[in-house]
Amino acid sequence: MGRRWFAYGNAAILELPAVVPLKGHRATPEGSDEWRKMVAAAARIGPGGAGASTFMSPLEKACGNAIAKAGGSYVVLSPEGFGPRWHPPREKERFCAKGRMLFLSLYPADTKKPDKATLYNRCHEMVDLANESLPSSKA
């Protein structure tokens, strides 16, 4: 993707035939056309593919649930880096153990948590880079 990324998890996910970037805004109303279309697209990501997102907004979380049900994998774009003792959140451990999850960040581990505006900007930057860089986003 042209920049150094920090990673934790199964890097082979990036070689899957379909790695689909997903960007959902917090303001998207649940049940709207945009919501339904994006969740339906995520539900089509099966075992041969992955969704790439921060999975932070309610819409992105709904897409993550649809991907999980369909047997797909995740590329979680993290606005915070990973320290040497970092591990995935407890609810994500089973996906990591099955090789279905990769965490990526452009940022090294900080000693202090960045403010909300910085985190927001980092999320958008990484999803935009994924949109530009992933081959399946150009189809």
Place of tokens 């998890």: 9
Residue 133 confidence (pLDDT): 72
Provide the whole-model pTM. 0.84
Alpha helices (runs of H) in the chain, residue ranges in sequence order: 33-43, 58-70, 93-97, 116-133
- Please compute Rg for the chain using Cα positions: 14
Q: Which residues of the chain have pLDDT under 50?
A: 1, 137-139
Residue 135 confidence (pLDDT): 57
Determine the Cα–Cα distance for residues 125 and 119; give it in Å rounded to an integer. 10
